[in-house]
Amino acid sequence: MTIQLAAVDYAILLIYFASVLGIGFALRRYQQSSADFFLSGRSIPAWVAGLAFLSANLGAQEVIGMAASGAKYGIATSHFYWIGAIPAMVFVGVFMMPFYYGSRARSVPEYLRLRFDEKTRGFNAITFAAMTVFSSGISMYAMGLLLGVLLGWDFNVSVLVSAVIVLLYIFAGGLTSAIYNEVLQFFLIVGGFVPLVFLGLKDVGGWAGLSERLTVTATQAGFAPGAYTHSWQHMGSPDANPMGVEWFGLAMGLGFVLSFGYWTTDFLVVQRAMASNSMSAARRTPLIAAFPKMLFPVLVILPGMIAIALTTQAGETGFSLPAKADGSLNYDMAIPMMLGHYFPSGILGLGLTALMASFMSGMAGNVTAFNTVWTYDIYQAYIKRDASDRHYLWMGRMATVFGIALSVATAYATTQFNNIMDMLQLVFAFVNAPLFATFLLGMFWRRTTGHGAFSGLVAGTLAAALHHGLTLPRGSVAGIKGGWLDAVLNTYPSEMAQNFWTAIWAWSVCFLVTIVVSLATRPRPPEELRGLVYSLTERPSDEGAPWYRRPVPLAVLVLGMTLVLNVIFF
Amino acid sequence: MPLDIRLPIGMLFTLVGLLLTGYGALSDTALYQRSLGYNVNLVWGVVLLAFGVFMLVLGRRASR
């Protein structure tokens, strides 16, 4: 189905493009130093940094992917929010931000150099830079593909136009521009999706009608009636829920390793907090982000659940998910199809703009993280050490240009070799999983040494690869899904279970190796670690501020509310 | 903060709100069959317009 857009829809898209570029150019004259360009001059208020922290992660793949998972797994998908994000966001705000912000490090790799040594930083900087370019390339590819299917737009035009717009606004306004546009995107997503969820719910007969239909969906798929509407009840065994995971793998793999690994060490999100205007604001950034984050399942997962419910048992308007060529349901089309089905022209333009905005700011988030790490941690560290600040500002702009050029190249490479993309994502998963062990030890155990951190990271990465090479998800053949080491030691009930356990293994190996090697090597004297390690850093005090401006009371509130959500949908 | 972010947000939502409200008021009701009979353009346009104006007011007050 291709959707026809009316003039009013194009007008809304144009207003959005004009605003994005306008913001970029209005910020141009404030980009005087490299700190302005890469760190927004550390001037962003907490609420703006918080919404950007949330949106930087809310790329369109996330939006579309979460709806797809909502359709595939039901409400258990919300674990990616309530277990897989909130606790880690609280942790990074309360415990880790004092080092990130307090050390005045300009990036995550730079913190690794201050705390450990050059090689640990180099390892992180290079893998991270490569990762950002590839993710923004994948994002472009996905957008080109979707707009082609949905609107019949030409792939080249979609990719090139969005690349040029993102390029222009970051080139002009740097990180501030990216952050502002992320905040704009946040409101657009809410504005575009609230009416969609409303109409979908109306069609399906409210929550009651939805659960009734999902009971049928669950029984048809061979699960207990509540498998799609209860998040924890069926996690006792991997065979009892559509995700194919059990509670321990879920809590440890997703809730601990993967989630903490992402939210606490990924510079893409941490950069937003580093740009805020004070220590207190930096600590509150992830906490402020946590409030909307815990409610986002309503906007991104619920539409997927509505889509599958209506596919099982048609509603008034006859909506159903399309099938792929092989006859299976195309879950990825849940949100795009619902937009086309329920939205008349006018608001349809708004919905599409929200989708485009999330694609573009997902790209922009990667590009700003890339240009910073490239300039500070690769160019300044290894290529040109003592240049003027002006030169690094110039380099940041150049890095924006070639970062986007490389992303476009990746997008086109993906159209040619789809497998290479899966492969790359896999390799990055190996690199990311152990990183949290390095940070945890580095920040809370002062005995951790540079050699320990580096060997732990390498060993953890290898452990991840090894585990993946020796296991397979049920029903898959050896290859990209695992088992490529010719010996399958364990078969997991699902791909997700395999991922969680790969992460658990990688983390544990990194943790142990780091400890053993650290004990065998010479520690750094305590005075060099001041401000970098928990026991040697003064606690930031926020006495006298009202409770809603203090990290700890906010953190308690966030965790309490998340607990309540888990209980309600248990 | 060099430019108050609430100003561009307010501007965008005010414009989009006006556009949707106007379009919703003038368009044929047959258009709203797919949205279960609700004139979503009109209703949501007014909501977005109110939000846009609210942001503009906040932004202007702060930058004065």
Model ipTM value: 0.96
Tokens 């390095």 belong to A438
Residue A168 lies in a domain: yes
Which residue of A184, A341, A347 is in closest CB contact with B20? A347
A22 touches chain B (CB under 8 A): yes
Give me the torsion for CA of A450, A451, A457, A462, rounded to 10°.
Answer: 170
Task: Give how many domains chain B has, as a whole number.
Answer: 1
Separation of alpha carbons B37 and A471, rounded Å = 52
State the pLDDT at residue A183: 95
**Rounded to an integer, what distance in angstroms lies between the CA atom of residue A434 and that of residue A512?**
11
Give the residue numbers spanning the domain of B12. Answer: 6-63
Which residues, listed in sequence order, are joined to residue A42 by a DSSP beta bridge? none
pLDDT value of position A418: 64
Asked whether residue B35 is domain-assigned, the answer is yes
The verdict on A438 and A403 lying in the same domain is no
Output A173 or A487, whichever has higher pLDDT: A173
Q: What angle do CA A65, A334, A163 make, to 5 degrees?
A: 55
- pLDDT category of residue A540 using cuts at 50, 70 and 90: confident
Instruction: Check which CATH number belongs to the domain holding A218 and give it.
Output: 1.20.1730.10
Same domain? For A507 and A412 the reply is: no
- Interval A43-89: pLDDT, tens: 999 999 999 999 988 877 788 888 998 998 989 889 989 988 999 99
Confidence at A421, pLDDT banded by 50, 70, 90: low
**Residues paired with A492 in a beta bridge:** A473
The kind and range of the H/E element at A197 are helix A155-204
Measure CB to CB from residue A195 to each of B12, B13, B40 and give the nearest one.
Answer: B40
The tokens describing A494, both together, are: 């699902």
- State how far the alpha carbon of A248 is from the alpha carbons of A43, A251, A274, A436, in Å: 42, 5, 33, 19
Calpha distance A50→A93 (Å, rounded): 11
A238 plus A331 within the same structural domain: yes
Interchain contact, B20 vs A45, CB within 8 Å: no
Q: Does B1 map to a domain?
A: no
Alpha carbon of B9: minimum distance to chain A alpha carbons (Å): 6
Range from A53-67, A193-207, A377-391, A439-453 carrying the lowest mean pLDDT? A53-67
Of the three residues A373, A394, A416, the one that is the final residue of a domain is: A416
The least confident of A291-295, A388-392, A486-490, A526-530 is A486-490
Contact A344 B9 (CB under 8 A): no
A140 vs chain B: nearest CA distance in angstroms?
A: 24
Q: Do A371 and A515 lie in a common domain?
A: no
Q: Do residues A531 and A402 both lie within one domain?
A: no
Which of A94-98, A112-116, A415-419, A521-525 shows the lowest per-residue confidence on average (mean pLDDT)? A415-419
Question: Residue A534, SS3?
Answer: helix
Q: What is the percent of chain A where pLDDT is above 70?
A: 99
Residue A251 sits in the same domain as residue A317? yes
pLDDT band at A420 (very low <50, low <70, confident <90, very high): low
Q: Which residues of A522-548 are buried (b: 16+ CB within 10 A; e: fewer)?
A: ebbeeeebebbbeeebeeeebeeeeee
**A196 exposed, middle or buried (CB, 10 Å; 0-12, 13-18, 19+)?**
buried
Q: Is A344 on the interface with B (CB under 8 A)?
A: yes
**Inter-chain residue contact B32 with A317, CB threshold 8 Å:** no
Stretch A224-249: mean pLDDT: 85
Q: Are residues A125 and A84 in the same domain?
A: yes
A8 pLDDT higher than 70: yes
A350 touches chain B (CB under 8 A): yes
Instruction: Provide φ and ψ at A234, rounded to 5°.
Output: -110, 25
Distance (Å, whole) CA A77 – CA A369: 28
What is the tens place of the pLDDT at every residue in A332-384? 889 999 999 999 999 999 999 999 998 888 889 999 999 999 999 999 999 99
Percentage with pLDDT > 90 across chain A: 52
Reduced 3-state DSSP string for A356-383 = HHHHHHHHHHHHHHHHHHHHHHHHHHHH
Mean pLDDT, residues B45-51: 97
Place of tokens 């889509």: A307
pLDDT value of residue A256: 87
Q: Is the pLDDT of residue B43 over 60?
A: yes
Taking an 8 Å cut-off on Cβ atoms, the answer to whether A341 and B34 are in contact is yes
Give me the mean pLDDT over the B13-41 stretch.
92
Chain B closest-CA separation from residue A222 CA (Å)? 33
| Mean pLDDT for chain A overall | 89
Number of cross-chain residue pairs from A and B with Cβ atoms under 8 Å apart: 93
Q: Say whether pLDDT at A423 is over 80.
A: no
A455 shares a domain with A362: no
Residue A115's domain comprises 7-28+39-416
**A384, A459: one domain:** no
Q: What's the confidence (pLDDT) of residue A544? A: 77
pLDDT confidence of A262, banded at 50, 70, 90?
confident
- The closest of A173, A134, A373, A179 to A265, measured between CA atoms, is A373
Cα gap A237→A405, rounded to integer Å: 46
Q: Distance of CA B30 to CAs A22, A98, A393, Å?
A: 37, 58, 55
Q: From A128, A143, A177, A111, select the one nearest A366 (Cα to Cα).
A: A128
Torsions phi, psi of B39, nearest 5? -80, 80
- The verdict on residue A564 lying in a domain is no
The answer on pLDDT for A114 being more than 70 is: yes
Q: Is A475 in CB contact (< 8 Å) with chain B? A: no
- What the block records as the tokens of A427 is 């390799």
Instruction: Say what angle helices A60-73 and A334-342 make with each other, to 10 degrees.
Output: 90
Segment of A135-144, A160-169, A326-335, B1-10 carrying the highest mean pLDDT: A160-169
Number of domains in chain A: 2
Asked whether residue A229 is domain-assigned, the answer is yes
Q: Are residues A410 and A431 in the same domain?
A: no
What local confidence, expressed as pLDDT, does residue A354 receive? 93
Per-residue pLDDT at B17 exceeds 90:
yes
Mean pLDDT of A115-127: 92
Report the C-alpha gap between A40 and A35 in whole angstroms. Answer: 6
